[in-house]
Chain A
Amino acid sequence: MTATWIAMLPHLAHQAAFGALAAAGFGVLFNFGWRTLAWCAVAGALALAVRTVVQQTGGSLEAATFAAAFVTSFTAILALRWLGPACNAVALAGCIPMVPGAFFGQAMLGYMAVAADTTGSSTAQIVAASQAFVRVLSIVGAIGAGLAIPAYLLKSRQF
């Protein structure tokens, strides 16, 4: 068991590091202040670490995404003392690297290819594109629910 966890560490560190970079990068785009940007990076690392661990232990991508968003939101609200009302925004920035833009692209490109197909043999492509689209909906839903549930349960203040 310990060996499995040790073997997982490089991949976990990789995912957390790039999750942090993606969250901080988008934090700059969203005009977060420098201090909050550091928290965004921490939130991104936490979200991707949790998602990776859940996936590595057999969870689906959707379940892992929900767990990651939930833990990130919960932790950010617990860190209210340091983050202030910005805790919800920091949690959201941390979850941005999990937004399934690539799946949406795959789905749309798949549908475009199906539309252009004249041979009538595009059943597999329709299924793949539809599957990608369903994954977009379920992952976005998982992020939204994971972020919102702790905020409602803990009555996180907005001002």
Chain B
Amino acid sequence: MTMIQPDPADLEPIHPYSLARISHVALQAGAVLAQSGASVRVVHEGARMVAEGLGVEVLGMRSGYASFEITLARGHHSFTRMIQIGPHGVNHRLDFAVRELLKRASRGDMTPDAIEAELKRLQSDTPRHPPWLVAIATGAACAAFGRLLGSDWLSFGPVLAAASIGQGVRHLLLGRRFNVFVVAAIVGCISAALGGLGARLIGSSTTELAMMASILLLVPGVPSTNAQTDVMDGYPTMGSARAVTVIMIMVFAVTGLWLAEFVLRIHT
């Protein structure tokens, strides 16, 4: 959502780009970084690089969990604009590709149109691992978690399979824009039930650990450390919002696990 205000700087022919145009590009860059899992400090630094590369001064920025706001100035004129931030995720390759773009933009040899086009291209063209590989890798990570927690070798395969299926289901549901917390509960239930059932059928003596390990794909590790980084960097609002989101996701994931335990008649 953007708030459009009249931009007096538009009347000054000496400047090729209006403050509105620059603010829009800077906000877009910041929003992509935020959605890719960057901390607030990186988001603000990125937006500042764009704005300063295009020849304006940044008077202030404010980041919330769902919106990002910037105030730019040129001479006696200033301009404030806000943009909505979409679902938060983690996408390392996109994050660092955008940072490289912003480094180029900060040198001042890119137009707002070129930066915007490059941002769009990066969002559509930055490679992603195929969903089947992500599912198997996530399953392997959860099986490794199981071993680190002390589960036996027999449960390794069931946890790998259960968490892989859980990740596949999560990919499908999030792709259909289901609520992230509801998805955590559903995936938690499915993964824990499959992991526990598989471990039990195969004769594992650590069924409960297998169920727990099967839902660890849902643990939001990056947001939990970003929450602390944001607070340490002086952005307690964003840090708190991230921390609350982490707790909520875990509560829903454990609710799914609890349902699976109820279904499998396992009592902790």
Contact = CB atoms under 8 A, between A and B. Distances in A.
Interface of A: 14-15, 18-19, 21-33, 36, 48, 85-86, 89, 92, 95-97, 99, 101-102, 104-106, 108-110, 112-113, 140-141, 143-145, 147-148, 152, 158-159
A24 B148 CA distance: 15
A140 B224 contact: yes
A150 to B, nearest CB: 13
15 contacts: A14-B147, A21-B143, A28-B137, A29-B138, A30-B222, A32-B92, A32-B93, A33-B93, A89-B92, A97-B148, A109-B257, A109-B268, A144-B227, A148-B229, A158-B41
B15 interface: no
- Majority SS of interface residues in chain B? helix
Interface stretch (B70-78, B113-121, B197-205, B211-219): B211-219
Interface of B: 37, 39, 41-42, 45-46, 49, 90-96, 99, 102-103, 128-129, 133-134, 137-145, 147-149, 167, 209, 212-213, 215-219, 221-222, 224-225, 227-229, 232, 250-251, 253-254, 257-258, 261, 268
Nearest to B217: A29
B141 A25 contact: yes
Where chain A touches its partner, the secondary structure class is helix
Contacts of A97: 141, 144-145, 148
A108 B42 contact: no
Contacts of B215: 101, 105
Contacts of B95: 89
